[in-house]
Amino acid sequence: MSQFDLTGKTALVTGGASGLGRGMALGLAKAGADIALVAFNNKNMETKEEIEALGRKVLQIQADLSEENSCEEVVKQVSEAFGKIDILVNNAGIIRRTPAAEHSREDWNAVINLNLNSVYLLSQLVGREMIKQGSGKIINIASMLSYQGGINVPGYTASKHGIAGLTKALANEWAEKGIQVNAIAPGYMATANTKQLREDSKRSEQILERIPAGRWGAPEDLAGPVVFLASRAGDYVNGHILNVDGGWMSR
C-alpha cells in the first residue's frame, strides 16, 4: 500500500544490527528505505548483508553512543553518505539488573547515558536537520517500564520513563514543523536484553502467565508498527506511545 511505502527515505536505526533493532531495520528496508545501522561493534554484519540483498543502500557504523561526541560523529557520517535522514529510530539500549540498594553509580550512569542522554542528543542533532527539511519521523523505543516500576532495574525504569516524557515534549514542539515524534513500547521480547529473565524459570513463568498472547514477542513483531510510524500512514500521529506487548498492559 503506497501509504506505507518508504522508497527513497533514509532511516538511521541505532542498535540496528541485532535484537529488536534488527527486526525494525529489516522491516523499514522491506518497505523501501535505505538504512544506516549503528552498532556497538562491527562483529555482526549479517543484518547489513540481508538489507543489501533486498537491494537497499546500507551503511553500518561502529560507535559507542554513550560517549557524547559519538552522536555528532554518527549523524555526520550518515548525512555525508545519504545526504539526509528522514527517519530516526532510537533503539540502542542496555539494562543493568541489581536491587536498588546495591545499584552502583556506574550502572546508573551507563544506563542513563545510553538509554536517555544519547536519545536526547541524537534527536536534537537529527531534529535540527528535520526542521530545515520540514519533515521527519522520530521513533523512540520505550518499554513497559515507561509505565511500571519493574524489579531490580531502577536506572532502566528511570530511563524509560524519561523516554516517554521526552517523546511527548519533542512531539509537542515539532509537530507543527512536520515532524512526528512517537515511541514504541515493546512488551517482553526474546532478545539478549531479557536473557536473564527468560533463564529464571519462576520469573519467566510469571511473565508468560500475564501475556494474553501467550508468548514472548519477537523482533519481527516490531516491523509493522515501526513502518506505520515511519510512513505517511502515521502523519497525524504525534506523541503517542504504541504498546506492542501481546496485551500485557491491558491485564
Is 94 a binding residue for ligand NAD by CB under 6 A? The answer is: yes
Q: What angle do CA 164, 165, 170 make, to 5 degrees?
A: 105
Is 121 a binding residue for ligand NAD by CB under 6 A? The answer is: no
Cβ nearer to ligand NAD, comparing 89 with 171: 89
Is 92 a binding residue for ligand NAD by CB under 6 A? The answer is: yes
156 belongs to the catalytic site: yes
Is 171 a binding residue for ligand NAD by CB under 6 A? The answer is: no
**Cell reading at 78:** 550518515
User: Closest separation between CB of residue 190 and ligand NAD, Å?
Assistant: 7
- The SS3 of residue 2 is helix
| Amino acid residing at 46 | E
Q: Kind of pairing, strands 58-62 and 241-244?
A: unpaired
Is 93 a binding residue for ligand NAD by CB under 6 A? The answer is: yes
Cβ nearer to ligand NAD, comparing 6 with 241: 241
DSSP class of residue 40 equals: S
Is 188 a binding residue for ligand NAD by CB under 6 A? The answer is: yes
**Cell reading at 37:** 545501522
Q: Could you say which of 6, 12, 13, 20 contacts ligand NAD (CB under 6 A)?
A: 20
Sequence-separated contacts (24+) of 58-64 with Cβ below 8 Å: 58/29, 58/34, 59/35, 60/17, 60/36, 61/36, 61/37, 62/38, 63/38, 63/39, 64/40
**Cell reading at 212:** 494474553
Is 248 a binding residue for ligand NAD by CB under 6 A? The answer is: no
CA distance 198 to 184: 22
Cβ nearer to ligand NAD, comparing 67 with 235: 67
Q: Which residue has the cell 552498532?
A: 39
Cβ nearer to ligand NAD, comparing 94 with 229: 94
Q: Could you say which of 10, 12, 19, 161 contacts ligand NAD (CB under 6 A)?
A: 19
Q: Could you say which of 27, 127, 155, 186 contacts ligand NAD (CB under 6 A)?
A: 186
- CB under 6 A: which stretch of 3-11, 52-60, 62-70, 230-238 binds ligand NAD? 62-70
Tell me how far CA of residue 225 lies from CA of 44, 80, 92, 108, 220, in angstroms.
25, 28, 17, 30, 10
Q: Could you say which of 9, 21, 24, 170 contacts ligand NAD (CB under 6 A)?
A: 21
Is 50 a binding residue for ligand NAD by CB under 6 A? The answer is: no
Contact set with ligand NAD (CB under 6 A): 14-15, 17-21, 38-40, 63-66, 91-94, 114, 141, 143, 186, 188-189, 191-194
